[in-house]
Amino acid sequence: MKHLQASCILAMSMALASCQSHAPLAAHTEAVLSEGMKIIAATPSGNIEIQGQAGARRAYAGENWAKSAVLIPRQTRWDGSLGLYDPSPSNTLGDRLLVEEGRQHFSSQSEALRYMQRLKGYYGPLTYNNSGLVVAYKVVAIDHEKPTRSLQVWQIYINGQKPTALPGAADAKLHVSGGNTPAHSAPAAAPLGYARALAESEYSAD
């Protein structure tokens, strides 16, 4: 009887996860990738491929590894984002993929560059293009385990529009196919969960 109950619970959990992954995102969710959209980024930590699938499901791949995940839509604006995330809960430190994806809205280019400089403090040099698509990727070695990877994918908007030029951008390092983010975006109204912090100086690739 207990085995049957456990099997039923497992089946219901799998069905729920499947429904969540294929359900359309809420209107307020500030996602970057749409279904079928693919980003290939050449980063200092290695090449990475990110693909949007149905709903909140994403597929990720790099050299000798691949993972898929159903991201969690944020209900409060966290560090500027009302997008999606995956904290990759685990009983171990290794073999995790920590993900953030969303749109970041700024009132000036200087403000955007200060945010990017803050990201650089952890991720090192960022990979981004003149249209404000930013990929921050870091691989952390874990003793006696597979490495843990941290990934952030942001689309920057300045006064509601994608930028057309950003200092230090490298368009050739980002390839986007199968879709794109809107040219214009305004931040949706949402409770503030955690305020966004900016660096004192603007982003420098050095």
Residue 138 parent element (H or E)? strand 133-142
From first to last of the 206 residues of the chain, give the pLDDT tens digit.
444 444 443 344 334 344 444 456 888 999 999 999 999 999 999 999 999 999 999 999 999 999 999 999 999 999 999 999 999 999 889 999 999 999 999 999 999 999 999 999 999 999 999 999 999 999 999 999 999 999 999 999 999 999 999 999 999 999 999 999 999 999 999 999 999 999 999 999 88
Chain centre to alpha carbon of residue 156:
12
pLDDT at 23: 56
153 neighbors 188 (Cβ within 8 angstroms) = no
β-strand partners of 97: 149
pTM: predicted TM-score of the whole model, two decimal places: 0.89
In angstroms, the CA 57 to CA 17 distance is: 10
Using CA atoms, how far apart are residues 65 and 45, in angstroms rounded to an integer? 14
DSSP character for 54? S
How far out from the chain centre does Cα 189 lie? 20
